[in-house]
Structure 1
Amino acid sequence: MIEMLNVSKKYPNGITAVNDLSVKIEQGEFVYIVGPSGAGKSTFIKMMYREAKATSGSVKIGKFDVTKLKERDIPLLRRFVGVVFQDFKLLPKLTVYENIAYAMEVIEKTPKQIEKRVFEVLDLVSLKHKARMFPNELSGGEQQRIAIARAIVNTPGILIADEPTGNLDPDTSMEIMNILEEINNQGTTILMATHNSQIVNDIKHRVLAIENGRIVRDQQEGEYGYEI
């Protein structure tokens, strides 16, 4: 499902964010990505959906050889890899329904297909009743749930969640985790970058710890392992 082999990423300013990293993640896994700020977690994640391109090594995501992917084929990869950001990135002038539907419109689904699927994912995140509201009328937790719904509306094989609970209180964070667990139970591979030690320690999954651009710990049912 995800395989990186001897991957490095060096930016033009000379910083090596990822250094000779190799890892394999199977379909259906739930993996936490942890480590100190500046460790290379964001670059590690960005290389999976070609927001960043590896300087050397091989990155394979499903059927995609990401390091050799032509620019015109990147949108195909991004249908397979859904991404949820800490700051939601919802379009402020579109309603909840329109924000989610937009992700299907760009791949030319029919209005009937769009309506059916949008309400399916809204039901999953328990926000059907907010379909006609705008992002600024929602709480932070609700916005994150909508961002998750948008990320999975095209049924990606992989969902990347970059600090999805970073701006949320503990109760709301647990609501988000329950949704991610449900998505994972349906077969989607989930990678979640997080600094939330309580979540990592309480809801056990595989843990990849990254420091100085390398994986320094790979534990099944792992602990967070850093002081907060």
Structure 2
Amino acid sequence: MIEMQDVWKSYANGVMAVNGISVHIDKGEFVYIVGPSGSGKSTFIKMMYREELPTRGKIFIDGTDITKLKQKQIPFLRRKIGVVFQDFKLLPKLTVYENIAFALEVIEENPRNIRKKVMEVLDLVNLKHKARSFPNELSGGEQQRVSIARSIVNNPTVVVADEPTGNLDPENAWTIMEIFERINNNGTTVVMATHNKEIVNRMVKRVIAIESGMIVRDDEQGEYGYEA
């Protein structure tokens, strides 16, 4: 499903963000990426959907080496990968329904299917009643649920999330995690970078710990392992 082979990433300022990472993630796994701030977690996540290109090494998604994709091929890769951000990235002038529908419109989905798919994912995140609301009319937790709905409306095989509960209070954070659990139970692979010690320790999943751009721990049923 996801495989990195001796992946390195350095930036123009000389910072080495990823140092020779090799890892395999199977279809249907739920994996937490943990580590101190600045350890390389976000770079690790961004390379999966080609927001960042490694300096060297190979990254395979469903058997395709995405490091060799041409720029025009990247949108097709991202149809397979849903991305959830800490800061939601909703379009403020579009309603909840329109924000999600937009993800289908850009890939030229048949208009007859759009409403059905949008309402299905809104039902999954319990926000059908907010379909006509604008982002500034929603709470932070509701905005993140819309972001998740948008990320999965294309039925991706992988969802990657970078600190998706970082701006939320504990109650909303658990609501979000329950949604990710349902998504994973439906067969979608979930890879999540997080600093939330309580969530990692309570929802026992595979834990990959990164420090100084290197994998220092990979536990099948792991714990957070750092001070919160």
SS of the equivalent of 1:84 reads strand
Query: What's 1:185 paired with?
Result: 185
| 1:216 equivalent in structure 2 | 216
Match of 1:4 in 2: 4
What secondary structure, in the 3-state scheme, does the structure 2 residue paired with 1:98 have? helix
Distance 1:64 1:106 in 2: 23
Do the aligned residues in 2 keep the contact of 1:64 with 1:77 (CA within 8 Å)? no
Residue identity opposite 1:135 in structure 2: P
Shift of 1:112: 1.6
Superposed displacement of residue 221, structure 1:
1.2
Cα shift at 1:109: 1.1
Where do 1:53-92 residues align within 5 Å? 53-92=53-92
Q: Distance in 1 between matches of 2:13 and 2:167?
A: 30
| CA RMSD of superposed structures (Å) | 0.6
**Alignment pair present for 1:153 and 2:162:** no
How big is the shift at 1:219? 0.3
* TM-score normalised per structure 1: 0.99
User: 1:111 deviation in Å?
Assistant: 1.9
CA distance in 1, matches of 2:23, 2:31: 12
For structure 2, the residue ranges without an aligned partner over 5 or more in a row are none
Query: What is the deviation of 1:64?
Result: 2.4
Runs of 4+ in 1 over 4 A off after TM superposition: none
Per the alignment, in what secondary structure is the counterpart of residue 38 of structure 2?
A: coil
Aligned-partner Cα distance in 2 for 1:165–1:48: 20
Q: Separation in 2 of the partners of 1:98 and 1:206?
A: 35
After TM superposition, list the pairs within 5 Å mapping 1:92-171 onto structure 2: 92-171=92-171
Give aligned-pair identity as a percent: 68
Offset at 1:220?
Answer: 1.1
Residues of 1 paired with 2:193 and 2:137: CA distance?
27
Taking the aligned partners of 1:63 and 1:109, their CA distance within structure 2 comes to: 25
